Chains A and B, each alone.
Chain A
Amino acid sequence: MTRPGLRVLVLLAVVLVACALLAPRFLEFGFGDGRLRGALVDVAHRGMPTLLLALGMTLVIGLGGIDLSVGSTMAIGGALAALVLAAGGAAWVAFALGLGGGLCVGLGNGLLVRAAGVPPLVATLITLTAGRGLAQALTGGQIVTFERPEYAALASGAFLGLPVTLWQGALATVALGALLRATRLGLYLEACGDNPRAARLCGLPVARMHGFAYALTGVLAAWAGQLAAADIRAADVHSTGLYLELDAILAVVLGGTALTGGRIHLLGSVLGVLILQALTTALLMRGAGTEALLVGKAVAVLVFALLTRRPA
């Protein structure tokens, strides 16, 4: 276990203890609707869309980039799927088309960053603005509702006693982790993030690495958007994923992936998401409003940053 990994584990433990103190029923478990219930399960369940975003964000940040557009990509993915469903299309077609939309946004980001040389912050700022606009234009600014239990099961179903969202998050994490560490991909990505010039001189396909990371982030974001849409059985193009890019970035930073690029800690990001979501759930259980939640998150992140700052 690397040092940042250990740090985020300790932090998670501290946060969980704090949550248990804040909300006495935090550690209770129950069983109902064919699955395990309880605050901790809820933490994982609610955190899954953010987790999918954070997984992609880890790769992009590991490459020294940033993707601000994931929230808008979520809205596009959800909107596309909902439109297909509302028109009577099959659930799998809706899902695939939603992911395809995310892939297009991601590839667009990759092209802007690599082919046009736009700084990632600006490139994804553009797709953030235009992306949400596109989602709104797709649905005419309306909230598209659908009554399709087979699609809604994507977010509310259960499998082997656990919410199906958990399995999806685990699947995405394990698949991506295997892709990174069982193949050369992880090493290449880190090399490109650490020193792009050196990586290119070594013959690494730097441009393709960027394309891959942004495209994958787009697909994962569209997936997260579909979880959100399936959860409320509607595509809300105005608020789906709003500000969620910030949660994802914070989770990645908490997890120990350096914003300067060159290091990828996938599991750290998973733990980072759980930390943020545990705080959120505990504060909500305590009856705190969203306002206290926002202030709490901001203070927690700054305190963490002060504690773990690198020496000058």
Chain B
Amino acid sequence: MKTAARAPWLLPALAFLLVWGAAGFVHEGVHSLPFLHNLVRDGAVLGVCALGATLVILGGGIDLAVGAMVGCAATLAAVLVEDAGWHPLAAAPVVVAAGAGFGALQAAAVAATRLPSFLVTLAGMFFLRGAALLVSRESVAIAHPFHQAAGTAVAWVAAAVALVSVVAAAHLPLLRDLYALGGHREAALLAGVRAFRAELCAFAASGACAALGGVLLTWKSAAGNPRAGLGLELEAIAAVVLGGTLLTGGRGGPLGTVFGVLVLTLVQVLLTFQSGLGPGWTRVVLGGLLLACVIPTLKRL
């Protein structure tokens, strides 16, 4: 348990290597670079969202608006490109900035109402889902030539976000504030941690990441669907927890989340290889996996 406490990313990393190693003996081509590239591409949207969610969870909060944000951002990006005639690369930063703004609003609402963050972001989820449908009722197909080429860039963008998060987690003072708040809020406040500033940044980052997830989704699928990202917030939380971050905050980090996302995506890919198993069993296995990862991290009662 000592290693788990010092490097919570170690267990998920081992789990990934184990599953990946074992899968190679059952399915051909799993131990190859193209497979890994596809894996990162498949997990890109979830990964980017989960990295943002990691910050919020580290600080002891939770962001349930992630999935709805993906749908809303994807629709907004698609409408900007298709109807307003923007270049996709111009639409992306605007959408991401809007996501960050909405995240910051949620943090402000948490501070103003003194409600738990899961409730405020629950309302945020309703709001964004509604807003996405107000932007467009139907899925918007994107015909812009950029989207034909952008599919391969998705994996690299996700990898870059992962790298930046891991490096930032080790060096930014803001992250230390979040760890302190998630570890023991009262103590952190008494020690002079500026809670509102840290939480504002965490929620804004989560919003921006989820919006980027939505943009990546339009790059991948060449369409913006207002119903996209259904239940993604739960998958993101699952990936964060799989990655060894405590759901109560204070321990864990982006590196674990990276491995959590990889394990989750790999298991989903492997389950689709087993053609006999429907999406139902995938979810059951997902639940079991989540449980198996949570149990060892619990404090004894």
Contacts and interface: CB of A to CB of B under 8 A. Distances in A.
A122 B298 CA distance: 11
Given A118-B298, A125-B290, A137-B278, A302 B284 contact: no
A306 B115 CA distance: 9
A118 B237 CA distance: 15
Interface residues of A, number: 48
A297 B290 contact: no
* Secondary structure call for the B interface: helix
Contacts of B133: 289-291, 294
A130 B284 contact: yes
Contact of A246 (B126, B132, B238, B241): B126
Interface stretch (B23-31, B116-124, B144-152, B157-165): B116-124
A116 B295 contact: yes
Which are the 4 A-B pairs with shortest beta-carbon distances?
A133-B283, A130-B287, A136-B280, A294-B130
* Secondary structure call for the A interface: helix
B290 A126 contact: yes
Nearest to B298: A117
B119 A249 contact: yes
A293 interface: yes
A172 interface: no
Interface of B: 62, 109, 112-116, 118-120, 122-127, 129-134, 137, 234, 237-238, 241, 247-248, 278-288, 290-291, 294-295, 298-301
Given A130-B283, A249-B122, A297-B123, 20 more contacts: A126-B287, A126-B291, A129-B238, A132-B283, A133-B281, A134-B284, A136-B279, A136-B280, A141-B278, A253-B119, A289-B137, A291-B137, A292-B134, A295-B127, A295-B131, A298-B127, A298-B130, A305-B119, A309-B114, A310-B114
A246 B133 CA distance: 19
A121 interface: yes
A125 B289 CA distance: 12
Contact of B113 (A66, A131, A237, A306): A306
B278 A136 contact: yes
Interface string A112-124: 1000111101100
B115 A305 contact: yes
A134 B280 contact: yes
5 contacts: A125-B234, A130-B284, A133-B282, A305-B113, A309-B114
A141 B277 CA distance: 11
B291 A133 contact: no
Contacts of B288: 130
Nearest to B134: A291
Contact of B126 (A127, A130, A297): A297
A253 B123 CA distance: 12
Contacts of A250: 122-123
Contacts of B137: 289, 291
Interface in A263-306: 289-299, 301-302, 305-306
B129 A294 contact: yes
A312 interface: yes
B294 A122 contact: yes
Given A246-B122, A246-B125, A253-B119, A122 B130 contact: no
Contacts of A140: 278, 280
A289 B133 CA distance: 9
A259 interface: yes
A135 B170 CA distance: 43
Contacts of A144: none
A137 B281 contact: yes
A301 B127 CA distance: 11
B127 A294 contact: yes
A298 B123 contact: yes
Given A117-B300, A122-B247, A310-B114, A133 B287 contact: yes
A18 B294 CA distance: 46
A81 interface: no
A117 B301 contact: yes
Contact of A302 (B120, B125, B247, B287): B120
A201 to B, nearest CB: 15
B281 A121 contact: no
Contacts of B123: 250, 297-299, 301-302
